[in-house]
Amino acid sequence: MVVRGIRGAITVQHNEETEILQATRDMLHQIVVDNEIKPEDICSVFVTVTQDLDAAFPAKAIRQLPGWELVPLMCSLEIPVAGGLKQCIRLMVHVNTTKSQSEVIHVYMNEAVKLRPDLTQAAN
C-alpha cells in the first residue's frame, strides 16, 4: 500500500452554509465511490476555499459524516490568483491504497471541470 492524493473540486452558486456543506459532501461522496475507499483508508483531507466563500468551514460537512469523526482535516484559503475560478471548494484526500497513480480517479464538478479537463470524467 502507498499513500496517494486524490483531488476534487466543486463550485457553488451562493456563499451559504447549507450549499457549501452539501457541495462538500457531494464531492467527497463521489471521490469515495469512484475510488472505492473507506474512511479508515484516509490519512487526511486538506480543504481549500476561494476567498469569496466564508459562510462555513467545509470540513464541518466531512466531520459530520458517520465514520469520518477521526479523520484529520485542515481548511485553508486558496491562493487568490487574478482570473481564478470563483466560489470553489477543493479537496486533497490522502488515502492508503494499492491503486497506481493512473488508477486514481480525480473528481471535478460543476464549473470546476474547467480546472482540469484532462482529468474530468465524462459523468461529472
* First-to-final CA distance of the chain: 28
Residue 73 lies in a domain: yes
Print pLDDT tens along the chain (124 aa). Answer: 999 999 999 999 999 999 999 999 999 999 999 999 988 999 999 999 999 999 999 999 999 999 999 999 999 999 999 999 999 999 999 999 999 999 999 999 999 998 887 776 544 4
Residue 108 lies in a domain: yes
Residue 120 lies in a domain: no
Model confidence, pTM: 0.92
Tell me which residue has cell 457549501: 20
Enzyme catalytic residues? 7, 63, 75, 78, 90, 108, 116
CA dist., res. 40 & res. 43, Å (int): 8
Residue 17 lies in a domain: yes
CA dist., res. 102 & res. 99, Å (int): 8
**CATH code of the domain covering residue 103:** 3.30.1330.40
Domains contained in the chain, number? 1
Closest among 55, 82, 68, 62 to 8, alpha carbons compared: 62
Residue 71 lies in a domain: yes
Amino acid identity at 1 = M
- At 61 the pLDDT is 96
Q: Which domain holds residue 66?
A: 2-114
Residue 119 lies in a domain: no
